[in-house]
Amino acid sequence: MKITQVRFVLCGYALQTPIPLSCGSLTHRNFGLVFVETNTGLTGIGETSVNFPPWCAHERRATIDLGLASLLIGENPLDIGRLHDKMVSATRAFTRMWAEGAITQAISGIDIALWDIAGKFYGVPVWQLLGGRYREEIPCYAVGFNSADPAAGVLEMTAKGYTHAKMRIGFDDAVDIRKARAMRDAVGPDFGMMIDANQAYDLPRARRIMQELEGLNLFWLEEPLLSDDLRGYLTLRREFPSIPLAWGENAFRLPDYREFAERGAAQFVMPDPCRSGGMTAAVRMCEAAAEHGLPFSPHHYGSDIGFAAALHLAASRPNFSIMLRDEAPVPLRGDILKSPFKVSNGTVRVPDGPGLGIELNMSVIQSATVKL
């Protein structure tokens, strides 16, 4: 079996109401699909994150169609580890000249598609290829609910069966703290409450915010600092031991995961199969965390294709904790599958079918395709 084509497809649409984040507002919900085709008729599907910056979809298309594809044509798609390392090695210098995240996220989509092909070829789900399944149901926490009134929004999530939810901060500090306290008051002291700063702060501002958050019994505070600020994370861990820190969504190198784990700079790590280098890299990151007793929580903020990949990762690793589920009203996220994922009492069942265990709704994908 040989790879004959690798291509990037962008699906998406403009949002009527932009989604605010500390690093900017999402004006579109875009999903980056990657197709890897073979001479046997088997096609693998993957996803690459295309949220930020606003021009990132152009980067993915160029990196995949004009760069990475030529490395893979004629190769055996079952040589997943070797092909992953080939892509990383061939682009290592470019990550220093250009953008490490942009290249790694492009590799991610291809790598996921290779795992999908392998599962289809052997007739087993990806979680089986990764060593087997530790769990059939994956507990999730909710994001994407009412950001203007998170106290009201989180009650809608509890009504759906969620026991954990995450709000975003990194805007006006006084307003953020008031909203966080209101959310905690709404759900009571035992609900799993997470807060995500999206790398918004420097160390002095993070200290001020965490002083205000100390009494809220947070499940975690996510990315208060830039992802490469190891010294800053160690400082916050030392000064605020009652607030667990989550980190890793924007870390793209295995050595960084190892160092953060070894130094105890975070209590949760968050590899994202669509961002961190695909399933191959995400598994290695999870194992690095497990060596130091750290749990992981897969990050995912894209379509249900990438969500499927994250489910397989969560099912197959012993140190899994909980997983993100976007509850924002974005129908395309699930409609690109013939059978979208459904949350029941805050959990999602892991697919049992070959590969990722999903079937694409090609008519929806074709109608939502964006030309670049």
Predicted local confidence at residue 318, as pLDDT: 99
**How far, in Å, CA of 219 to CA of 347, rounded?**
18
Confidence of residue 93 (pLDDT cuts 50, 70, 90): very high
Task: Describe the crossing of helices 254-263 and 278-290 by its angle, rounded to 10 degrees.
Answer: 20
Instruction: Verify that 83 and 7 share a domain, yes or no.
Output: yes
* pLDDT for the residue numbered 35: 99
Q: Token digits for 23? A: 């690093």
> Which amino acid makes up residue 9?
V
Residues 70 and 153 in one domain: no
User: So what's the pLDDT on residue 147?
Assistant: 87
pLDDT digits (tens, 9 = 90+) for 102-131: 999 999 999 999 999 999 999 999 999 999
What amino acid is encoded at 29 in this protein?
A: R
Residue 339 and residue 219 share a domain: yes
Model confidence pLDDT, tens digit, residues 229-251:
999 999 999 999 999 999 999 99
What tens digit of pLDDT does each residue of 172-184 get?
A: 999 999 999 999 9
3-class DSSP state of 306: helix
Mean pLDDT over residues 332-351, rounded? Answer: 97
Q: Could you please report the per-residue DSSP string of 13-64?
A: EEEEEEEEETTEEEEEEEEEEEEEEETTS-EEEEEE---SSTTHHHHHHIII
**73 plus 148 within the same structural domain:** no
pTM, two decimals, is 0.97
Contacts of 137 (CB under 8 A, 6+ apart): 347, 348, 349, 350
302 and 176 fall within a common domain: yes
Tens of pLDDT, residues 140-151: 999 999 989 999
Omega prior to 53 cis, within 30 of 0: yes
Strand pairing of 3-21 and 24-38? antiparallel
Domain of residue 136 covers 128-356
Shared-domain flag, residues 137 and 202: yes
Same domain, 291 and 273: yes
**Per-residue pLDDT tens for 56-92?**
999 999 999 999 999 999 999 999 999 999 999 999 9
The pLDDT mean for the chain works out to: 98
CATH code of 239's domain: 3.20.20.120
Q: Are residues 103 and 147 in the same domain?
A: no
Is pLDDT at 193 greater than 90 in this prediction? yes
Quote the radius of gyration of the chain (alpha carbons, Å).
20
Domain count, the chain: 2
What's the gap between Cα 23 and its chain centre?
17
Pairing of strands 245-247, 323-326: unpaired
Instruction: Give the rounded distance of the alpha carbon of 64 from its chain centre.
Output: 19
